[in-house]
Amino acid sequence: MVTEYTATARAHSNIAFIKYWGNREPGIRLPANSSLSMNLAALHSTTRVTWSEALAEDSLMINEQPAAPAAFLRVRAHLDTLREELGSTLYADVASKNNFPMGAGIASSASAFAALTVAATIALGLRLPERELSALARRGSGSAARSIPAGFVEWRAGGADKESYAETIASPDYWPLEDVIAVISPDHKHVGSTAGHASANTSILQRARVESAADRLESAKQSVLARDFEALAPVVEEDSNLMHAVMMTSKPSLFYWLPKSLRIMLAVREWRHQGLQVCYTLDAGPNVHCICGAEDAAAVAARVKELDSDIEVIRSSVGGGAQIMNVNDRIG
Ligand code: PMV
């Protein structure tokens, strides 16, 4: 008789207003600074985990294809962490689907590792508190910690593994912002964020960025809580610029921006001066996330298309937290 424990979970991607870049302890992804983000309702990963006594090794399918070796090794390492933390010796079949392009600077690792962590724990019959799920998801991908709680989320860096988790600061319906993403290139990024984090300290600017991050986070947090777009916009752009300044001055230097990215960033500033509620932020990729007041999102999407009709635009409102889709134990 073989026992299988299966569960499916869904988690949303998130976009950081205050970025996480660089680790204090890379092995367990303890971040150099705290960060702040908003979940993206339109972008999600749905992941099914089956732990089974019949398996002799782990396996991973992504979007119905066998995963590339690098993705498989990263997921297997996270399954090792989960086995160790949850006290299991079973292997797992993992099948994950994203509804958005992978590795394009839209954090597929955040939603993927959050969904994997929830499905894996639920399948084993464990209903862990949100903080523990967030800290566990963080071990797979730092930003995944922020895809566990709902809405607007703060991840406090913390001084130790169990203290480094994310929590909601405001629910998804607290402030109807939208992310209008200008997808400049859906290709896989040239240097992934794990390698990027590892090089952050080679920039002389990283120390200044980290030392000043708490002030920016407090300012961004108060702006979100006050629903004050005018106050939020400059700090979001400054924080993104600072992270990219660190990336560009690391050794070797990392340039994620493309000429089209800069064109949109400059246009966004212009549109804001003209009265639209919009500001930009970029992750480890060339796509420009235009954070908008909901009433201006359609106009911003139209203007991006006017600038360059080849650019695909994805719009997303504020998303909820990771959720369980299905639980199904099979004994056969
Ligand atoms: O979770 P990771 O290791 O992919 O790091 C994400 C880093 C950025 O997306 C660039 C910034 C952030 O805070 O999301």
Q: Who lines ligand 1 at CB under 6 A?
A: 16, 19-21, 35, 107, 109-110, 141-143, 193-194, 197, 283-284
* Gap from CA of 52 to ligand 1 centroid (Å): 32
Which residue's alpha carbon is at the smallest distance from atom 4 of ligand 1? 193
Whole-angstrom Cα distance, residue 200 to residue 42? 30
Question: Over 60: is that where the pLDDT of 33 sits?
Answer: yes
* Gap from CA of 320 to ligand 1 centroid (Å): 19
Ligand 1 atom showing the smallest separation from residue 243 Cα: 10
Q: What is the pLDDT of residues 159-217, one digit of tens each?
A: 999 999 999 999 999 999 999 999 997 665 577 888 899 999 999 999 999 999 999 99
* Gap from CA of 90 to ligand 1 centroid (Å): 30
User: What letters, b where the CB count within 10 A reaches 16 and e where it falls short, cover 284-315?
Assistant: bbbbbbbbbbeebbeebbebbeeeeeebebbb
Poorest-confidence range of 19-23, 49-53, 128-132, 193-197? 193-197
Which residue's alpha carbon is at the smallest distance from atom 10 of ligand 1? 283
112-124 average pLDDT score = 97
pLDDT for res 137: 98
pLDDT for res 185: 77
- Token pair of 281 as six digits: 């932020």
**Mutational pocket test of ligand 1: of 193, 255, 261, 280, the residue with most ligand atoms within 8 Å of the beta carbon:** 193
Contact 221, 231 (CB under 8 A): no
pLDDT band at 329 (very low <50, low <70, confident <90, very high): low
Ligand 1 atom showing the smallest separation from residue 14 Cα: 14
State phi, psi for 293 to the nearest 5 degrees: -65, 140
Ligand 1 atom showing the smallest separation from residue 144 Cα: 1
* Gap from CA of 196 to ligand 1 centroid (Å): 9
pTM of the model: 0.96
pLDDT for res 155: 98
* Gap from CA of 279 to ligand 1 centroid (Å): 19
Question: Over 90: is that where the pLDDT of 331 sits?
Answer: no
Q: Which amino acid is at 190?
A: H
Task: Give the chain's mean pLDDT.
Answer: 94
* Gap from CA of 22 to ligand 1 centroid (Å): 9
* Percent of residues, the chain, with pLDDT higher than 90: 90
- Token pair of 284 as six digits: 């480890």
Per this entry, what is the length of the chain?
332
Question: Over 70: is that where the pLDDT of 107 sits?
Answer: no
Taking the mean position of all CA atoms in its chain, how far away is CA 147? Answer: 6
* Gap from CA of 139 to ligand 1 centroid (Å): 13
pLDDT for res 102: 63
pLDDT for res 108: 81
Report strand pairing: 91-98 vs 59-62.
parallel
Question: Over 60: is that where the pLDDT of 55 sits?
Answer: yes
* Percent of residues, the chain, with pLDDT higher than 70: 95
Q: 139 or 105: whose pLDDT is higher?
A: 139
206-225 vs 229-248: helix crossing angle, rounded to 10? 160
Poorest-confidence range of 34-38, 145-149, 194-198? 194-198
pLDDT for res 188: 59
Contact 109, 75 (CB under 8 A): no
Ligand 1 atom showing the smallest separation from residue 109 Cα: 4
- Token pair of 119 as six digits: 């499905």
Whole-angstrom Cα distance, residue 312 to residue 30? 34
Q: What is the pLDDT of residues 246-280, one digit of tens each?
A: 999 999 999 999 999 999 999 999 999 999 999 99
Which residue's alpha carbon is at the smallest distance from atom 9 of ligand 1? 283
Using alpha carbons, select from 164, 121, 122, 170 the residue that is nearest to residue 145: 164
Question: Over 90: is that where the pLDDT of 90 sits?
Answer: yes
pLDDT for res 103: 52
Whole-angstrom Cα distance, residue 105 to residue 25? 23
pLDDT for res 195: 87
* Gap from CA of 199 to ligand 1 centroid (Å): 14
Ligand 1 atom showing the smallest separation from residue 192 Cα: 4
106-120 average pLDDT score = 92
**Mutational pocket test of ligand 1: of 102, 283, 289, 291, the residue with most ligand atoms within 8 Å of the beta carbon:** 283
CB neighbour list of residue 73: distance below 8 Å, 6 or more residues apart:
none
Question: Over 80: is that where the pLDDT of 332 sits?
Answer: no
